[in-house]
Amino acid sequence: MDEYLGSDAQVRVQARVAALAAWIEATPGAVNGVRLLATDNPEVLGWPVIFHHLGEDGLFGFRVVTGDEMARIGDRVGAEGYHLVHWQVFLGEPEEVSPRVAGVLAQGLPAGYCVLGEEACSEPVMVDAARRLMVECGISPFPMSVLLGRRGPCNLTLIVDAEAKLAACAFCYFPYGPHSAWHRHAWGGLVAVSSAHRGRGLGTLVNALMARAAFEKLGARGLQEYISADNAASRAMVERCGLSHDGDSFACVASRAAAKFTR
C-alpha cells in the first residue's frame, strides 16, 4: 500500500515533513504537523525559516496563537501574498476530559457496532480503510507510517459494524517537541464517520475513545482539537468529550490559496 494518499501537492509536503522529522524534534519553535510544517512560537523559530518553508511548500501552520498574534501573523504573511485560514482551539486536561468521556462511553455503542482492538487497528488493510474513509469525508489523511505508529506514539481508534466494515475513526499523536510549552500534549482529529452510519452518535463515541486513549494509553498531559467556527456539529462533539473552547487561541495555516489544504 502506498505511504501517502492525496493530491500531488499534499503528498509532496507530507514527504518533506517526514524528511525533516529529526530537525523538527530538535528545533525550538518547530512543530510536526505531519501534513505540513508548523510552529507554536514564530519568534523563536524565526521568520526567515518560516518564509523559507512557505516558499518551498506553499503553506505553513501556526499552532495555539492568540487573536492578537494571529492578526500580526496575518499581516506578516499577507504582505507576501499569503492567505491565513484559522480554526478555533479546544483544550482539555485529564481531570476535565476523563469524567466526561466516561459518561459518553457509559452509554455504550449502538447495537451491531464494536471497537477494534489494538492489534486489529495496526493491520495495514484497516489503516488503509481508515485513510479512505477520511478522504470520503473530505479530510486529508496522514501517511500510513504515522497511523501505524512507526513515527512516534499515537492511537488510531476504529469502530466497525456487524459486517466488520469500518464505520468511524479518530486519531491522536504528539506534534510538539521537548522545547515546546505543549510538550506531551496530544493533538486529536481525523474524526470521520461513514455516510452509511451517520446519525447514531458514532462521531462523539469515536472521539471519546480517542481522548481516553490519549490519556490512558499515551499518557498525554492534555489534548487539543481544532474546529472551524462554522462547524457546530464538531464543536458539540468535542465539548461533550470535555474539551473547552479557548476563546483567545487559534490554529492557522498560511497558504497562497484561500481554501483549507487539509480538509
Domain span including residue 216:
8-255
For residue 260, what pLDDT is reported?
57
Residue 170 per-residue DSSP state? E
For residue 84, what pLDDT is reported?
95
Does some domain include residue 37?
Answer: yes
Q: How far apart are CA 260 and CA 72, in angstroms?
A: 20
DSSP assignment of 46-68 equals -HHHHHHHHHHHSEEEEEEE-HH
Domain count, the chain: 1
Does some domain include residue 170?
Answer: yes
For residue 199, what pLDDT is reported?
94
Does some domain include residue 89?
Answer: yes
C-alpha dist (Å) from residue 205 to 11, 63, 147, 148, 216: 30, 26, 19, 21, 16
pLDDT along the chain (263 residues), means of 10: 90 96 97 97 97 95 95 96 95 96 96 93 94 95 96 97 96 97 97 96 97 97 96 95 92 81 55
Q: CB of 212 within 8 A of CB of 105? A: yes
Does some domain include residue 113?
Answer: yes
For residue 257, what pLDDT is reported?
74
Does some domain include residue 120?
Answer: yes
Residue 45 burial (10 A CB sphere; 0-12, 13-18, 19+): buried
CATH assignment of the domain containing 12: 3.40.630.30
For residue 49, what pLDDT is reported?
97
For residue 258, what pLDDT is reported?
57
Residue reference for cell 493533538: 187
Beta-sheet pairing, 185-193 with 37-39: unpaired
Does some domain include residue 2?
Answer: no
Does some domain include residue 119?
Answer: yes
Does some domain include residue 260?
Answer: no
Global pTM reads: 0.95
For residue 1, what pLDDT is reported?
79
